[in-house]
A and B are shown apart, each in its own frame.
Chain A
Amino acid sequence: MAEEPGLSDQYPTASPWPLFVALGLALSEIGVFVGLFPVAVFGLILFGGSIAGILTESGYVERPWPTLLGVGVVLIILAAAFALWQVPVADIALSNVGTGPLFTRLVAVAAAGAVMIAMGGVASVMEQTAA
């Protein structure tokens, strides 16, 4: 171990991630169901980020960034599928954000997905170029 060990390396029975996975899930649910756009976006980012973190920490994956990217893709696919299934095509327009209750929520989910893809992508590239 070349560098300073992190908390969960230092202590075998500690991990900072579970708390944030739970908080992220709670905020996502509130945001999506109550229809609070910012809470949904940030909650989902926190949730996806913590999933990436906890999987990396426990050694299921090597690096967090591809996972983050993957969660983002899943969210976008989900949002797109629901939109195609439940929202009339004519209503799928940026100007409709904030009016259609379902559409606005789906946009929030997709936005969170997009942010995660961007974060995961940029970080992956930076890491590979740095190394």
Chain B
Amino acid sequence: MVAGDIVLTGLMAVLLVGVAALLTRVENWRSYTPLAGGGAVTGDETAVINREKPAGIIRWLTTVDHKDIGLLYGVYAVIAFAVGGIMAMLIRLQLVTPAGAILSNNAYNSILTSHGITMLFLFGTPIIAAFANYFIPLLIGADDMAFPRINAIAFWLLPPAALLIWAGFFLAPVTDNMIEPARTAWTMYTPLSVEQANPGVDLMLLGLHLSGVAATMGAINFIATIFTERNEEVNWANLDIFSWTILTQSALILFAFPLLGSAIVMLLLDRNLQTTFFAVEGGGPLLWQHLFWFFGHPEVYILVLPPMGLVSLILPKFSGRKLFGFKFVVYSTLAIGVLSFGVWAHHMFSTGMDPRLRASFMAVSLAIAIPSAVKTFNWITTMWNGRLRLTTPMLFCIGFVSNFIIGGVTGVFLASIPVDLILHDTYYVVGHFHYIVMGAIGFAAFAGIYYWFPIFTGRMYQRTLGKAHFWFSMVGTNITFFAMLALGYLGMPRRYATYQFDGAIAPLTQVSTFHQAATVGALILFIGQLFFVWNIVQSWLEGPKVEDGDPWNLERDGMLDREFQWFEEQLEADSPEKDPSLLADGGQEEQNDS
């Protein structure tokens, strides 16, 4: 232990000296020009400033530009999606045979836990932050976020969070399995999560905590930005729908994530310092479930509201019609935001809580389906009699609506107590929420990536590959998750590494068949994502340059939003003989010679 401490001390000292040396090299602490208010743009261009950013890797490590940070979030989220997706494939391959094909029970539980946490916290929240960072300032006509530096801090908390959440996988081989990946499932229910002595659980909890701090900082920033940085032309009446959903989402984050953070700290204290927050003689194990779901249910809307905003923004563009009932889409967003804090106990119907309490949670849960349905009808009526253009982003929007209907309707069934008592903890629940997290949230993210690909990269993606991506994803998603709904009806419990329980719990033959169907679906889905990665990488590197600031021909319908107008200005500024100082986005290499 002493030797270990000395090594650690040495390591830390070297790190600190390195950081200090680096900082003194890049920063001159005497030269600061004050810019109180935290704004990034100095008004007077007195000094040698004619470029915006340093070059190369330093640019990305030091950037406080919202567009760069948006791209960083995006790359981060796509990498996390790949990691989480490979974990999902391992889960599906394991379950092709009742005895389990490839993993030990422990490995299965580790991967299951990491898959959930990775997808929700390292893919879901960041991919939304990617779009929000890039486009909220452009859509509301702001120069940047209200607090550009806090914006960067929030992003840089995420890579350490990911390393901590995955830490067990890296450390198990080198520590002789003393530190293993957490096996608590994403809900981290006590007493299990208190009793697992494995320090990997602590590391994962710390990672989650950091990601929560990051989300909260981001939320504060978005609220401040949308309230204070709008330009004169943007008021509450004409604020775009995506900004509305981000505003609502940020409010939800502000109430939900600090609570998760505190609950995690309590859990850490129970684990390490013998407190009794969740012990039977203290707050009791159910306390965790209440705290967790008070966060957890709003979290699902934190994840789904902005994707709904993306679809509400993009779908009209390819329908040739304005969003039907815009006001009601905004109202339903706000309604969902408020109601989402009153339904958490529908995750706990089977815990033996007071039936009167249970009934009231059932009522609110059923009520929350109403604003969700309002949105769905608005999307459908927007397309009704419209001039539909089935571009890749539009296909993903339509896929979103279709999958959201199945996901939402299955949710309404679960909200009904008697139905839930039968289906709770079966694959039906897994099917329900995957229709939404993959079928809706994932699809909206793809729609956003394709729709704005020209702005991100200045290039166009390959249309055929995009369509292949859509159809493989749509078919794969529906095979996989519909099979899971069926598995749930058959009685297959969730979170099982094997299922050799012939007859006792569920009929084995049918269960294996549906598991195999789900795996086939997952393979199709996986192949689709290969098209996606190939398309994005290759088109980014060598796709055709976009010449026109309006690649989707939105001008014709009078639907060219601010972000594409901004893009148009960039393209004009980019063309030579124009004023180079207009160009906000270049690193120094590109501009040195101009």
The residues of A with any CB-CB pair to B shorter than 8 Å are 1-23, 25-27, 29-30, 33-39, 41-43, 45-46, 49, 53-54, 56-60, 62, 64, 101-102
Contact = CB atoms under 8 A, between A and B. Distances in A.
B273 A101 contact: yes
B149 A54 contact: yes
B156 A23 contact: yes
A60 B147 CA distance: 13
Given A18-B149, A30-B203, A39-B8, A6 B26 contact: yes
B550 to A, nearest CB: 27
B205 to A, nearest CB: 8
Given A34-B199, A59-B36, A26 B160 contact: yes
Nearest to A102: B273
A9 B30 contact: no
B353 to A, nearest CB: 32
Interface in B48-85: 48-49, 51-54, 58-59, 61-65, 68
B47 A1 contact: yes
A13 B272 contact: no
B157 interface: yes
14 contacts: A2-B30, A7-B27, A10-B49, A13-B64, A13-B68, A18-B64, A19-B62, A23-B160, A25-B213, A29-B209, A33-B268, A33-B272, A59-B35, A59-B37
A56 B27 CA distance: 12
B160 A22 contact: yes
Sorted from nearest, which 4 A-B pairs have the closest CB atoms? A59-B34, A18-B152, A22-B156, A6-B28
B41 A30 contact: no
A62 B35 CA distance: 11
Given A29-B206, A42-B15, A11 B34 contact: no
Nearest to B6: A38
Contacts, number: 178
A42 B206 contact: no
A2 B30 CA distance: 9
Contacts of A9: 28, 31-33, 47, 49
A56 B29 CA distance: 8
Given A3-B28, A38-B5, A12 B40 contact: yes
Interface of B: 5, 8-9, 11-13, 15-16, 19-20, 22-23, 26-38, 40-42, 46-49, 51-54, 58-59, 61-65, 68, 144, 148-153, 155-157, 160-161, 164, 199, 202-203, 206, 209-210, 213, 268, 272-273
Contacts of B209: 29
A22 B151 CA distance: 11
Nearest to A63: B29
B410 to A, nearest CB: 38
A37 B155 CA distance: 27
Query: Main SS of the interface on chain B?
Result: helix
Nearest to A60: B36
Given A15-B62, A22-B157, A7 B54 contact: yes
Contact of B35 (A6, A30, A58): A58
A12 B36 CA distance: 13
A26 B15 CA distance: 14
A40 to B, nearest CB: 9
A35 B152 contact: no
Contact of B41 (A12, A18, A41, A43): A12
A62 B33 CA distance: 10
A23 B156 CA distance: 8
B48 A16 contact: no
Contacts of A36: 8
A19 B61 contact: yes
A15 B258 CA distance: 27
Contacts of A6: 26-29, 31-32
Contacts of A8: 27, 32, 62
Contact of A59 (B32, B268, B272): B32
Nearest to B66: A13
A36 B29 CA distance: 32
Contacts of A21: 153, 156
A118 to B, nearest CB: 14
Contacts of B199: 34
Given A3-B31, A6-B32, A18-B152, A11 B53 contact: yes
Contacts of A56: 29, 32
B22 to A, nearest CB: 8
A9 B129 CA distance: 27
Residue of A4, A29, A37 with most partner-chain B CB within 10 A: A29
B32 A57 contact: yes
A73 B171 CA distance: 36
A101 B54 CA distance: 45
A13 B40 contact: yes
Nearest to A22: B156
A70 B149 CA distance: 21
A14 B62 contact: yes
A17 B149 contact: yes
A14 B5 contact: no
A23 B202 CA distance: 18
